[in-house]
Amino acid sequence: MNEDIYLKQLIQCYESSPFPSFKVTNYFPIYAKLFAHLVGTDCVFVETGVLNGGSLFMWRDWLGPKANIIGLDLNPEAKKWEEHGFDIYICDQGDAEEMDSVFSNIGKFDALLDDGGHQSFQQINTLRAGLKFGNSNSIIAIEDTMTSFMKEFSRHGHHSFCEYAKDVTDLLTAKAGNLWPNQMPPIDNIKLMEDFKNVHSVEFFSNIVAFKLSSHAAEDPKLVWNKLPEVNASDFRYSGKNSCSVEWPNPFEVSTVVIRGGGA
């Protein structure tokens, strides 16, 4: 079944949910891309932010009767959805220890979608707890990341969730640092590298960031040849121009910078 069919089915499940739920329209194809492989399986799907309950029914209808849909919310009234067959945990996203305790009780999961409080520290806490307890191929998706730029959520200052997620990509790049020990800065934050060792990729969408885990991600990268060359080709990387002028990709400010090259 192709992605378009999964998407059509997902939208039908959303529209037919017996309880209210509101979504951003471009999220549906992202959901289909990230979670379609779980349809029809006995997966564990966790969603933070239950609110009016509508999305719980959407996920169960779309993923199928084998799926275990779990909701997390700070509002104790969310417990009422257990009457409809969902597992509900009342917890504070902002409390890292409490999140660890909840995920310890949940155990391994296949997907975690954060649609909770949307404050940067809550999103980061949810991600960190998910990394500890997800299975070897889990997907952790943090949505509504536009809050990193919104006035209502601006107390994070420069330490927004989006900046955090961008810097996580540096952790992935640093995994190859041992290949060029005299070129790369030394890795001092060993603990953080260990925390994110199972992250295979970070995928950025419009207002959703997905962290994909893999059992192979923790393996150290190695340089390999398919066959040794008889003569190495000449390297011309420093033979052309040594700079270029580019418009920096900042949506809130027009800025043109000169990026220089050349050997060290």
* pLDDT tens digits for range 182-223: 888 989 999 999 999 999 999 999 999 999 999 899 898 999
Domain contains 239: no
Domain contains 243: no
Domain contains 221: no
Domain contains 240: no
Chain length of the chain: 264
* Phi, psi angle pair for 261, to nearest 5°: -120, -150
Q: Is the pTM of this model over 0.75?
A: yes
Please answer whether residues 183 and 167 qualify as being in contact, where contact means their C-beta atoms are separated by less than 8 angstroms.
Answer: no
Which CATH number covers residue 35?
3.40.50.150
Give the strand pairing for 87-90 and 68-73.
parallel
What pLDDT score was predicted for residue 119? 97
What does the pLDDT look like over 81-136, one tens digit per residue?
999 999 999 999 999 999 999 999 999 999 999 999 999 999 999 999 999 999 98
Q: How many domains does the chain have?
A: 1
* Phi, psi angle pair for 159, to nearest 5°: -105, 60
Does 2 score more than 90 pLDDT? no
What does the pLDDT look like over 10-65, one tens digit per residue?
999 999 999 999 999 999 999 999 999 999 999 999 999 998 999 999 999 999 99
In which domain, by residue range, is 139 found?
3-213
Domain contains 72: yes
Domain contains 29: yes
Please answer whether residues 92 and 74 qualify as being in contact, where contact means their C-beta atoms are separated by less than 8 angstroms.
Answer: yes
Q: Give the confidence band of 8 by pLDDT, cuts at 50, 70, 90.
A: very high
Domain contains 247: no
Domain contains 22: yes
